[in-house]
Structure 1
Amino acid sequence: MYQSMHQQQGPGRGRKQHRPQYGPRRPKHNVPVNIEHTDGGFEARIFCVGFPKDRIQITLTNNVIYISGTRQPEHPEPDFMLQEYPVKSFERWFELSDQVDQQAISARFEEGILIIQAPVKPEARGPEREVPIQ
């Protein structure tokens, strides 16, 4: 269903020089995503904890689904020792397979998880048949 088109930034971008490096740092605009194949198509679960539902936007254009979110941080200039989840905003985009029925894509928000369901077109499913072994 989805082919990631997201290019990650290098580790340490924007990190203050006096801090030790604890390992690669996630880009500020990245949120974890799980994508699974279901009976009727595909399901993406995007970890958006702390982002209000009304501040998340999903846009479809040219076989690409674009997901973004914004929020106001608790402190205007947080001073992190380590940052692993976005504070102000995120954005993810994925290329959709030709098999996905873009008109039937739906989304819901449950306990900080954005769930996007992308059903496969009926003609892409094809009939099931048994293959004989010779």
Structure 2
Amino acid sequence: MGRQMSRDTIRAYFEAFNADDTDAMLDCLHPDVAHHVNEGNIRVGKVKFAEFCAHMSHCYRENLTDMVIFASEDGTRAAAEYTVNGTYLATDEGLPEANGQTYRLPAGSFFSLEGGRITRVVTYYNLSDWIAQVSKAA
């Protein structure tokens, strides 16, 4: 697998995210994908990933812009930098109360790939920045 195949897989993953198409996102993943959530635990497998996506879709509506995708020469590692443009729809446990606040923050994801499928997703964003934005808008 080369750099272009990895970039294409990551692009398809994020296009599915922006289309709110969890099934298409799952198609990009290895069955035993390790999902490292920002400020959270590692979830393993497509079922856990789908559960996370359902929760996120309930609490947040997000669209990713300013996407830049990087991939290693051998295609086994990739990264993406982007801007999250979101609306906080429903209160997420342990976080400020939701009332339709909007937010915009830089974020990034790191990936491992094998055989054209994503085996690891690690997502980072500044939680303090997000909390400040939704608290100010409250």
Q: Give TM-score, length-normalised by structure 2.
A: 0.27
Which structure carries more strand by proportion?
2
* Structure ID, larger Rg: 1
Q: Which has the higher contact order (CA 8 A, sep 6+)?
A: 1
Q: Give TM-score, length-normalised by structure 1.
A: 0.27
